[in-house]
């Protein structure tokens, strides 16, 4: 359902993002209120995103040495998205709606065919890995036929916290928060929040078990990963 008022914490989070079309319609949009996506500043923002997306996806790697591709991709990604941390790589094709409403943390890896309807904010933490064919969908519509005739919709933010793994072909719906360190199994449809340190799978996605935190793993003498360096 749509929100009845603005969300100051979401609006404040947007203040530091590149290229957002700050205006009344934008604030309503990212807050989850009903809004019209055909307002001029919103249309312009999506138009700009299409061009930047093409630049990113159509990078001619024949003209860029292999050891410079990572930095070139990061440069283009930072023009496309609201904020991107160091060490992050997104395999093309990548399909955001606004782009500027995305925050991606450091040292993330996102595989082919990520689709993001970032009507509201999409916030991805550090060291998140996302498999192929994933959809992050903040946009929603009321079941009211009249709302569609009036061209109004709403969107709620998605948060994926640090150290999560999102399997291939997962769909994450509006308003969902994936807790720190969680794994979402391939093909899942996530309709509700997932607690930290969970393994969840299914349609709808449900928690199947909980796991140790990284700190607990480091203290576990039986853990096979505790002595590995990052280079491995």
Q: Which two tokens stand for residue 179?
A: 């807790």
The Cα 5–Cα 167 span in angstroms is 34
Give the closest residue to 82 by CA, choosing from 98, 71, 59, 106.
Answer: 98
> 130 has which bridge partners?
110, 166
Q: What is each CA distance from 91 to 110, 130, 146, 182, 226, in whole angstroms? A: 6, 10, 39, 22, 29
Strand, helix or coil for residue 148:
helix
Give the closest residue to 134 by CA, choosing from 166, 170, 163.
Answer: 170
Query: What is the end-to-end Cα distance of the chain in Å, rounded?
Result: 46
Q: Per the residue annotation, which of 141, 156, 227, 232 is the catalytic one? A: 141
* 227 in active site: no
Give buried/exposed letters for 156-168 (b at 16+ CB in 10 A, else e): bbbbbbbbbbbbb
Answer yes or no: are the C-beta atoms of 111 and 94 closer than 8 Å.
no
Answer yes or no: are the C-beta atoms of 83 and 121 closer than 8 Å.
no
Answer yes or no: are the C-beta atoms of 14 and 138 closer than 8 Å.
no
Q: Which two tokens stand for residue 87?
A: 């060490």
The catalytic residues are: 141
């Amino acid at each position: 359902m749509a929100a009845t008022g603005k969300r100051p914490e979401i609006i404040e989070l947007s203040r530091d993002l590149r290229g957002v079309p700050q205006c009344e319609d934008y604030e309503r949009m990212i807050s989850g209120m009903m809004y019209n996506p055909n307002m001029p500043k919103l249309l312009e923002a999506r138009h700009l995103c299409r061009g930047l997306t093409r630049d990113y996806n159509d990078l001619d790697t024949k003209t860029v040495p292999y050891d410079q591709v990572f930095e070139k991709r990061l440069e283009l990604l930072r023009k496309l998205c609201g904020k991107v941390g160091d060490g992050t790589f997104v395999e093309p094709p990548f399909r955001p709606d606004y782009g500027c409403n995305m925050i991606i943390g450091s040292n993330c890896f996102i595989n082919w065919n990520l689709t993001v309807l970032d009507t509201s904010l999409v916030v991805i933490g550090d060291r998140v890995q996302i498999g192929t064919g994933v959809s992050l969908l903040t946009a929603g519509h009321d079941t009211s036929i009249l709302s569609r005739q009036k061209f109004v919709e709403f969107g709620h933010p998605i948060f994926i916290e640090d150290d999560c793994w999102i399997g291939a072909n997962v769909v994450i719906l509006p308003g969902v928060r994936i807790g720190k360190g969680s794994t979402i199994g391939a093909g899942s449809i996530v309709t509700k929040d997932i607690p930290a340190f969970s393994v969840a799978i299914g349609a709808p996605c449900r928690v199947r078990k909980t796991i140790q935190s990284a700190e607990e793993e480091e203290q576990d003498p039986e853990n096979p990963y505790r002595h590995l360096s990052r280079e491995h």
